[in-house]
Amino acid sequence: MIHSLFLVNSSGDIFLEKHWKSVVSRSVCDYFFEAQERASEPENVPPVIPTPHHYLISVLRHRIYFVAVIQSEVPPLFVIEFLHRVVDTFQDYFGVCTEAAIKDNVVVVYELLEEMLDNGFPLATESNILKELIKPPTILRTVVNTITGSTNVGEQLPTGQLSVVPWRRTGVKYTNNEAYFDVVEEIDAIIDKSGSTITAEIQGVIDACVKLTGMPDLTLSFMNPRLLDDVSFHPCVRFKRWEAERILSFIPPDGNFRLLSYHVSCQNLVAIPVYVKHNITFREGSSQGRFELTLGPKQTMGKGLEAVLISSQLPRGVLNTNLNPSQGTYNFDPVTKLLSWDVGKINPQKLPSLKGSMSLQAGASKPDENPTINIQFKIQQSALSGLKVNRLDMYGEKYKPFKGIKYMTKAGKFQTKGLLRGRAWDLKN
Amino acid sequence: MSASSAFNDEKGGSSNVGEPEYGHDPASGGIFSSDYKRHDDLKEMLDSNKDSLKLEAMKRIVAMIARGKNASDLFPAVVKNVACKNIEVKKLVYVYLVRYAEEQQDLALLSISTFQRGLKDPNQLIRASALRVLSSIRVTIIVPIMMLAIKEAASDMSPYVRKTAAHAIPKLYSLDPEQKDCLIEVIEKLLADKTTLVAGSVVMAFEEVCPERIDLIHKNYRKLCNLLIDVEEWGQVVIINMLTRYARTQFLNPNMNESLLEEGGGEKAFYGSDNDDDTDDEEDKEEKEKKKTEATAIVKRKPYVMDPDHRLLLRNTKPLLQSRNAAVVMAVAQLYFHLAPKAEVGVIAKALVRLMRSHSEVQYVVLQNVATMSIKRRGMFEPYLKSFYIRSTDPTQIKVLKLEVLTNLANETNISTILREFQTYIKSNDKDFVAATIQAIGRCATNIGEVRDTCLNGLVQLLSNRDELVVAESVVVIKKLLQMQPEQHSDIIKHMAKLTDNIQVPMARASILWLIGEYCEHVPKIAPDVLRKMAKTFTNEEDIVKLQIINLAAKLYLTNSKQTKLLTQYVLNLAKYDQNYDIRDRARFIRQLIVPTDKSGALSKYAKKLFLALKPAPVLESPFKDRDHFQLGSLSHLLNAKAGGYQVLPDWPEAAPDPSVRNVEVPEWTKCSSREKRKEKKADKPFYSDSEGESGPTESADSASDTASGSESGSGSEESGSGSESEESNEESESASEEDEEEEGKKKKKNVEKIKARKPVPESESEPSSGEDVKKSEKKSKPRIGSSESESEEDDDSESESSESEEEESEEESEEETKKKKKTTASKPPSKPPKKENKKEKKEMSLLDFDDFDPAPSPSQVTPLNNFLSSSLVTDLEGLSLTDNVLSPTTIIPSGNLKTYELLHRITGEGLSVEYCFSRQPFSPDPHMVAVKIQFTNSATSEAKSLHVEDAKLQSGMRIKEFPEIEVLPAGETISVVMGIDFCDSTQAANFQLCTHTRKFFVSIQPPVGELMMPIFMTENEFKKEQEMLLQSLGQLMGMNEITEKLTLEEKCQGEHAVVQRVTTAANLSRVPCGSDKECRFAGKTVTSGSLVLVSVVTKEDGAAQLTVNCEKMVIGTMLVKDIHQALTQ
């Protein structure tokens, strides 16, 4: 399975290595660097690179490449999924997963990797178990440790390792018993220039933060479970009850976890909450182009659009822009040709717009592409699909917990194409 | 804090690249400190008494390791702290040890005793971590210690420790592959573990050490299926992948009927329409023909019924499609793709589409697999077409893969949407992606005839695109498309000819030139002009363009030499002095070929044929075609090349192997026995280790256990009848294997000794005194040690044999041994009586231990009843082995109405047809074999020579006795031979090759269950007693061995005679004489193991009847009931 792991930063330095079997020379990464050089963008490095004696499987997260060295057949997703789990664990432990954080906590990182893999095969990947084995570093603890000489490492085998609920440790105690659920939906859409939807789908997750004493057994039911087209669960959810009653029944892990992710099928018509009108023209022979962009809310069920951010990759011929936003700030990077406009909140009475001119490279031919416009936004207190939690019940414990549910909608990969479709080739001829 | 400071210090110390590593204490560091002194401060800290200092030092050292700095010179200082009380120090020392022990083997040995102590610690965490480190330090000397530790840990109380043991198995295996056999034993034991914690890890070990031993899975199959949902995610992946392979060997293809019928008809026609004109070649027809014949064969076969175990697997994996872990979802998806009936595969599409919203690496892998799947099962992903639409923010590699999937999904109905989508892609900034899109359009155009013209026109429009790359790519694709129907498109060719003035991309220029040359008769005026222009620029062209210019010149010269002769000469002359030798060679070659000179060779006549031959249009295929022979989701599939350690996904078997191998005994018993086993294992451990130290534990162990299990199967068959007989033969074979060359006389004497020695030892599992237990297990292990030792332990042999049987070894036995057994059986009647009692007890034991697949125990539990039967059978058996012709069965068996089956059809056999029937005669060379009469008919015009059997592929335990080679079979002649097959009492087919001097044919013989038995003679009383006993012996297991079914006899079949006739036709049984004509009884025993088979048919009023079958082998019983039922009602 996983032979070795190398962590490579964006400038191509290996800043951490760990071997689970015999040592593999770090020169094996040269193949990786080669591929990295060939790739135009950082994310274009192929995840699987065969070398004469090994296979390199890598993931890119937080601008760090996690490069696993494999020697024989293994499902590539197995490795990729594990590497992502490693990143998640680091994030969980250190708050961020940056090169600096990893370097600062190199010993904890090493201890974690040691626990997570044995002989290249995953051993303990549940964050609850790991946290019992290796305490996450907090400022208080590090101070105490330096004074008393005590350690981060637990002495007992975590109970979860052996129990039927491996994701939860026993003996959890809280004074305030709380359970919060965030229903977050993301809308992915491709919209063509005329405003008609090409594809749109909603994906949602329910993230939970559960701080409950003892071994609570929760059930969560929905008003309209039929909306959920395709779901994937945290291992704690009892699949049978979902199949039979469409009820989420589970013993929650302690702390933060993702309970459920779901998909709302595209067959249900998705209401697009925002519209964009844009008109970008380049005149042949002229070194000026015109840029006009207006956006406004649409079917938001009375909720306001917040944190709206527009970004667009302008054609290479554009040298600079001179635009006027009616609100917010805009920025154009002449090197990457990336235009971004932080609109902020949309006021339905006064629609935000961005207008102005672009200067083009002299002599360059007219760019033929109308750029794609990516939109980000948030809608608080609303789940676009209309999913509603009906009730949350707790069994198995006596106390009464505090429960909270929050809804939010975000734009995922939401883009408007600059091109009107179906004009170029007439398919009827 | 401390950790961070350690690292920062570290960094500070060596921030300049190339600066040597110095100590971190500023006092000791510095340029002047000499090299051997480096790390002195760390050593000091490690030597100190304070844990905090040690910890600090270890943290710095680990930080060094993490950055890949060499810290090996600290080994002695670090290894001292391995016994440190502070658990974090200890852990870090472990980290260090695992990293450097391989380099410093001698010093590493110092730490071993600490781990050994750790292995005995009451805290399971410490035991586990000790084992982890011990097995992780790759020091060859400690292999025996590791082996011992693993064995011990495998029976630890704590499942966590057992899990660690499972993890340690592949480590040891990679260190010393010689240990494989011992490790397999441990794996086998751990496979039986019932905790979810262990399951994943042990299957992982199984996959790394002995993936070929699929037989170890049988017993655990159902358990694994049922546990699966509770196993941790990573284990699930490994188990699912393994079970996919398992299922491919054990079950029948659920799409068997469909795939043959459909692909022959419906689906083929569909594809045919896709590529209407080009691919209807010979090969295709041949394939169709083959399929047709297969299809007809299918119709004859029984309708497919899915094995319940197959269903179990599919049912239990399905919920895992909802896993949050992409690897698990992918594993289930590939399982469904490879195993599920076509109609059910669809469920995976949704889950796979869901995975596409995950990280881009996950998307990448999933899309690769979807691309492969979408070729085979296009309909599955069609509803999700839009999910594969490309976003401008996708990385290029994802875009290209999505494009691939979209292309695969394209068909007549959705092509217009897809093409519209493609058009927008062409405008993208990402040029690689644009190129791929144009290629994709080309593929759609070739596959879907309706849109070919549209695409072509679209592509021609692209020729006026401003971007040269787009134009170039279009030219290349257009070239391919035009090749399909050049006549209609001379205007496009003309248009392209004009492009030569502008396009600079060499590949595109070359393509245009090729097109003009190839179709110069369609553009007779333009072609010479193009050549003229090209001749001008020849020297400045790229190499591939130059080659095409020469090519064009040659073709024009051949078709239009009047106009182009001089031009061609000129081009060739230019090429003659080119820098590139390829071009010079080509020019020389072409000149010789086309320009007629007086010396020109024979080839110039054919120049036209050479250059102007009709070229087949290129087939634009998906690069993912045919990738599905790799198991999906695997690395090999992704790379489209076999990765090291890849296990080939086997093809479905022709006939399903015996499903009963997966049957597991009643749980209560399993529990007690496994406990017992564990106890035994524990007890004999010290013994093991000793022996390992002395002699290699592998070879001799094998042979001993083999013989033991072999003798079981042999003995089992006799036991059923005699009871007393077999024991002796066991001993005999045992000793025979020990000292093969020993003379008979000595053996005899020894046997007597053995008997004496054994007599006082009462053996029964039901009441083992603990001391005895230990003793027994010690003995048990003996024969594995080595032949030298087992020699002296005669009296243990039979015990070892009985306990050996617990280890469900595949029963392989060499034929000589069986024969030898027979000989001794026959030759020593006097020694029988004293052993009888012993025997019975032993059998009780074996009754528990044997599973269905093992030879069944005898029914004789109740002592007094046993006597007459066994003696009668003994004589029978004696007769068998002595005369080969026992009970003259002719009186009982209706002969003449033997059913013949076809082994090889005249057409497939190319004139040689082969039929077989079960002759129902005892097979003289080996009574455990079923005699099969094979009749060869040569209806060809020439004679067939040297007919023989080769390369038998048999299920474990099955044996085959080939017929002597037939040297010549003249045309038109028929010849019969007899061969023997030991089917091991299962209806699994024996597969082998039938060879002639020219050809080999794969054939298989599948016995009906009724042919797996031979008749025995019995009186009515005997019959009743036996029947009663069979029921009693299994007491609470009632119903296990008696199957009763009510049926209505068919009209023609009413009446005693008809019943007898039909039953005996269906099964090789003999009638038991009986007073009443309302009852018919039949008796027989299975050929291999000799288990009794009793059948009675009681007829009642108006055709109603009751059929009862008693047999210890449930499977045989069940199948027999079915067959007889069928025989009587039809």
How many angstroms separate the CA atoms of A112 and B851, rounded?
A: 45
Min Cα–Cα distance to chain A from B204, Å: 8
**Residue B33 DSSP symbol:** S
Q: Specify the pLDDT at position B741.
A: 44
Q: What is the pTM of this model?
A: 0.65
Tell which wins on pLDDT, B873 or B1020: B1020
User: Tell me, what's the pLDDT at B365?
Assistant: 94
| Whole-number Å distance between alpha carbons of B540 and B542 | 7
pLDDT tens readout for residues B109-152: 888 888 888 888 888 888 888 899 899 888 888 899 999 999 99
pLDDT of residue A156: 54
Nearest CA-CA partner of B446 in B609, B645, B620, B595 = B620
Among B174, B397, B457, the residue with its CB nearest the CB of A46 is: B397
Closest of B64, B26, B19, B60 to residue B42, by C-alpha: B60
Question: A400 vs chain B: nearest CA distance in angstroms?
Answer: 30
User: DSSP letters of A110-178?
Assistant: HHHHHHHEETTEE----HHHHHHHBPPP-HHHHHHHHHH---SB-SSPPGGGTSS-TTS-S----SS-E
A198, B386: Cβ pair inside 8 Å? Answer: yes
Q: What is the C-alpha end-to-end distance of chain B, expressed in Å?
A: 86
pLDDT higher than threshold 60 for residue B793: no
- The model's pLDDT over B965-990, given as tens digits with 9 standing for 90+, comes to 878 887 778 888 888 888 777 777 78
| Residues whose CB falls within 8 Å of the CB of residue B573, separated by 6 or more in sequence, listed in order | none
Distance (Å, whole) CA A73 – CA B645: 5
Res A313 pLDDT > 60: yes
Confidence band (pLDDT; 50, 70, 90) for B361?
Answer: very high
Lowest mean pLDDT among B71-85, B364-378, B410-424, B916-930: B916-930
Mean pLDDT, residues B787-793 taken together: 42
Q: What is the pLDDT of residues B717-749, one digit of tens each?
A: 344 444 444 444 444 444 444 444 444 444 444
**B87:A151 CB<8 A:** yes
Considering only A279-288, A364-373, B398-407, which range has the smallest mean pLDDT?
A364-373
Q: How far is the C-alpha of A148 from the C-alpha of B424, rounded, in Å?
A: 66
For residues B1128 and B1054, is the Cβ–Cβ distance under 8 A? no
Q: Which residues pair with A199 in a beta bridge?
A: A190
Q: What is the DSSP letter of A366?
A: P
In angstroms, rounded to a whole number, what is the distance separating the alpha carbons of residues A27 and B772?
60
Asked if residue B295 has pLDDT above 60, the reply is no
pLDDT score of B424 more than 80: yes
Q: How much is the average pLDDT of B1045-1072? A: 78
Residue A11 pLDDT level (bands cut at 50, 70, 90): confident
pLDDT of residue B30: 42
Of B196, B125, B115, nearest to B156 by C-alpha is: B125
Q: How many CA atoms lie within 13 A of A422 on its CB side?
A: 10
- What digits encode the pLDDT tens for the residues B156-184? 888 889 999 999 999 999 988 998 999 99
Nearest 10 degrees: Cα torsion B602, B606, B608, B614 = -150
**Residue B258 predicted with pLDDT over 70:** no
By three-state DSSP, how is residue B786 classified?
coil
Question: What average pLDDT does the segment B1069-1086 reach?
Answer: 79
pLDDT at A369 exceeding the cut of 90: no
Q: Do the chains contact at A76 and B389, CB–CB below 8 Å? A: no
The 10 Å Cβ neighbour count of residue B554 is 27
Query: From the candidates B317, B631, B635, B646, which should be mutated to test the interface with A, based on the most A CB atoms within 10 A?
Result: B635
pLDDT at B642 (0 to 100):
87
pLDDT at A314: 81
Residue B946 phi, psi dihedral angles, 5° rounding: 40, 70
- Say whether B123 and A114 touch across the interface (CB within 8 A): no
DSSP string for residues in B841-853: HHHHHHHHH--SS
C-alpha distance from A305 to closest chain B C-alpha (Å):
23
CA gap B440, B402 in Å, rounded: 11
CA-CA-CA-CA dihedral for A135, A139, A143, A144, to nearest 10: -40
Point out the least confidently predicted range of A298-312, B443-457, B653-667, B893-907. B893-907
Smallest CA-to-CA distance from A148 within B1007, B848, B51 is with B51
Q: Could you tell me how many residues make up chain A?
A: 429
Q: How confident is the model at residue A363 (pLDDT cuts 50, 70, 90)?
A: low
Residue B359: list chain A partners with CB under 8 A. 59, 61, 80, 84
Task: Please enumerate in sequence order all residues whose Cβ is within 8 A of that of A311, keeping only pairs 6 or more positions apart, or say none.
Answer: A338, A339, A340, A341, A373, A374, A376
pLDDT at B733: 43
- Rounded CA separation B498/B504 (Å): 13
Q: How far apart are CA B17 and CA A161, in angstroms?
A: 44
To the nearest whole angstrom, how far is the Cα of B365 from the nearest Cα of chain A? 7
CA-to-CA separations, B716 to B317, B476, B704, B984, B1085, in angstroms, rounded? 39, 73, 18, 12, 12
Tokens of B234: 């990573």
Mean predicted lDDT score pLDDT of chain B = 72
Q: Is B858 in contact with B1041 (CB distance < 8 Å)? A: no
Q: Residue B57 above 50 pLDDT?
A: yes
Burial class (CB in 10 A: 0-12, 13-18, 19+), B458: buried
Which residue spans within A314-387 are E strands per DSSP?
318-325, 329-333, 338-344, 353-360, 373-380
For B663-682, letters b (16+ CB in 10 Å) and e give: bbeeeeeeeebeebbebbbe
**Which residue of B59, B365, B419 is in closest CB contact with A425?**
B419
Give the Cα separation of B324 and B327 in Å (integer): 9
Residues of A in contact with B643 (CB under 8 A): 55, 72-73
A325 close to A346: Cβ distance less than 8 angstroms: no
E strand map for B251-298: none
Q: What are the chain A neighbours of B319 within 8 Å (beta carbons)?
A: 239, 243
Query: Region A405-421: what's the mean pLDDT?
Result: 74
Give phi and psi for B601, each to the nearest 5.
Answer: -80, -175
Query: A392 pLDDT exceeds 50?
Result: yes
Looking up tokens 């695992």, which residue turns up?
B98
* Over residues A185-202, mean pLDDT: 81
Measure CB to CB from residue A78 to each of B68, B123, B327 and give the nearest one: B327
Report how far residue B674's alpha carbon sits from residue B808's, in angstroms, rounded to the nearest whole number. Answer: 13
pLDDT of B244 strictly over 90: yes
For A419, the closest of B102, B325, B427 (CB atoms) is B427
pLDDT at B891: 38
- C-alpha to C-alpha distance for B421 and B441, rounded to whole angstroms: 11
Mean pLDDT for B1017-1024 is 77
Compute the residue count for chain B.
1130
DSSP A59-87: EEETTEEEEEEE-S---HHHHHHHHHHHH
Model pLDDT, residue A85: 93
Q: Which residues in chain B are contacts of A43 at CB distance < 8 A?
A: 360, 395
- Can you give the pLDDT at residue B911? 78
| DSSP SS3 for B897 | coil
Q: Return d(Cα B626, Cα B641) in angstroms, integer.
A: 12
A94 vs A119: CA distance, rounded Å: 25
In chain B, what is the greatest distance between 2 CA atoms, to the nearest angstrom? 113
- Cβ of A50 within 8 Å of Cβ of B641? The answer is yes
Across chain A, mean pLDDT equals 82
Residue B523 DSSP label: S
Say if residue B771's pLDDT is above 50. Answer: no
**CA distances from residue A208 to A29, A175, A215, A238, A403 in whole angstroms, order as listed:** 39, 19, 16, 16, 11
pLDDT in tens, A277-291: 888 777 766 677 788
Tokens at B215, concatenated: 């037989």
pLDDT grade for B904, boundaries at 50, 70 and 90:
confident
Cβ count near B1099 (within 10 Å): 21
**Residue B918 near residue B889, CB atoms below 8 Å:** no
Q: Span B305-321, mean pLDDT?
A: 90
In this model, does residue B576 exceed pLDDT 70?
A: yes
Helix (H) or strand (E) holding B379: helix B378-381
Give the residue from B933, B941, B896 showing the smallest Cα distance to B914.
B933
Cα separation, B1066 vs A21, in Å, equals: 60
For residue A251, give both structure tokens.
């013993």
pLDDT at residue B70 tops 80: yes
* Torsion on CA atoms B722, B728, B730, B735, rounded to nearest 10: -170
User: How many C-beta neighbours within 10 Å does residue B156 have?
Assistant: 18
B507 Cβ contact partners less than 8 Å away, ≥ 6 residues apart: B472, B476, B544
Q: Do B397 and A231 touch (CB under 8 A)?
A: no
Residue with tokens 């209505």: B1048
Q: Residue A76 and residue B391: Cβ atoms within 8 Å?
A: no
B30-45 pLDDT, tens per residue? 444 444 556 788 888 8
pLDDT classification of B153: cutoffs 50, 70, 90: very high
Other Cβ atoms less than 10 A from the Cβ of A365: the count is 13
- Residues B445-469 have a mean pLDDT of 81
When mean pLDDT is compared over A76-80, B107-111, B603-607, the highest value belongs to A76-80
Q: CA B72 to CA A130: how far, in whole Å?
A: 29
Of B93-102, B540-549, B914-923, the range with the lowest mean pLDDT is: B914-923
Chain A CB contacts of B136 below 8 Å: 118-119
Nearest to B494 by CA among B515, B476, B510, B473: B515
Q: Give the bridge partners for A312, in sequence order.
A: A339, A373
Kindly report, residue by residue over B475-507, the tens digit of the pLDDT.
888 888 887 776 677 778 888 888 788 777 888
